[in-house]
Amino acid sequence: MVRHGSIRCAVLTKEHSARSEDREIAAADLGEPIAVSAQKGTTERDDSRGIALALAAYALWGIMPLYWRLLSQVPPFEITVNRVMWCAVFVLGVSLARGRWQQLVAMASNPVLLGILALTSVLISVNWTIYIYCVATHQLVEASLGYYINPLVSIVLGVTLFGERLSRWRLVAVVLATAAVAVKAFELGHFPWIAPALALSFGFYGYFRKRVDVDSLDGLTVETWILFPLTFGLVLFWGLNGTGTFPSANPLTDTLLILGGPITALPLTLFAAGARRIRLSTLGFLQYFSPSITLALAVFGFGEPFTRIDAITFGCVWAALGVVALESRFSR
């Protein structure tokens, strides 16, 4: 267990007992930073709490276009800059209220941990910018395609980098998911840069966040504060030169930009907490929940057409989810 905010940097081995693993999960639940894991396959089974946390995160991400469309007058990059800055302010306040100052200092003093979190902060910022660009330019279909591809990236990373086994049923699910992506790409008529950029940036974000086994909110706090000097400097520069949106003459716009911080923090915290408790391949399949909600929102909320190809795509996706759900149930 971690005491007095120090960070235990231990290499987890296959000889760790189930009791040792339970102690580490308990430490995470208590909000203690744990370890930077260099072992492959550290998660052998799926925790039901992890599945619930990940699903909650994906549900929030699925409906988030509703919020960002309220800021359609703000450039996507400027939204991302404000998003990171206000998220940093919010999560630091929450962390201080939780009495986590010593833990944050200890994390910032660990070069390996700090380096990985710096990388994840860049990856998630790139992902945010591209996604908000899709919302602003009415390209949610291509964004959804990217998030359909992303679980395949997570599955490949889980098998190749974490040494996770791909069962016969999961192989069937992979084939179904691949078919869904292929159908969607065929409908678009091209394979745009948006889809692979979204898939790879978030896929590797999930991979590195899984390796850094720390308290989820502490990790997000360090991630956002790594970029805080840059984001604060940009907002200040734009404000002094009159080229930025914040502060604006419209109080509603300023309020929406500020609230973008906590709205950003909540699903990321849920995602990081869930990712620690389930296999990366399972995490990948659960991620289909988010683009499915987004596509449903586009059809029923924004009036976009739902074609026969869309029906085939959704059928393949939910069939893959059903296969994984049954496989997980019967493997217990």
Instruction: Look at residue 19 and tell me whether its pLDDT is greater than 70.
Output: no
Is 239 within the bounds of a domain?
Answer: yes
pLDDT score, position 331: 62
4: region left, alpha or beta (phi > 0 left; psi from -120 to 50 alpha):
left
Which residue has 């999961």 as its token pair? 170
Could you tell me which residues are beta bridge partners of residue 35?
Answer: 213
pLDDT of 81-119, one tens digit each?
999 999 999 999 999 998 989 989 999 899 999 999 999
Is 3 within the bounds of a domain?
Answer: no
Output the six-digit token pair for 71. Answer: 């800021």
Pick the closest to residue 133 from 216, 68, 59 (CA basis).
68
Is 9 within the bounds of a domain?
Answer: no
Is 130 within the bounds of a domain?
Answer: yes
Residue 74 belongs to what domain range?
18-330
Is 11 within the bounds of a domain?
Answer: no
Is 8 within the bounds of a domain?
Answer: no
Which of 57-66, 162-171, 293-302: highest mean pLDDT? 57-66
pLDDT of 186-211, one tens digit each?
877 766 678 888 888 988 888 888 78
- Domain count of the chain? 1
pTM greater than 0.85: no
Instruction: Look at residue 177 and tell me whether its pLDDT is greater than 60.
Output: yes
Name every residue whose Cβ is closer than 8 Å to that of residue 85 and which is 6 or more positions away in sequence: 228, 231, 232, 235, 261
Name every residue whose Cβ is closer than 8 Å to that of residue 76 and which is 6 or more positions away in sequence: 129, 132, 133, 135, 136
For residues 290-329, b (16+ Cβ closer than 10 Å) or e, as one string? bbbbbbbbbeeeeeeeeeeebeebbebbebbbebbeebbe
Instruction: Look at residue 143 and tell me whether its pLDDT is greater than 60.
Output: yes
DSSP state of 75: -
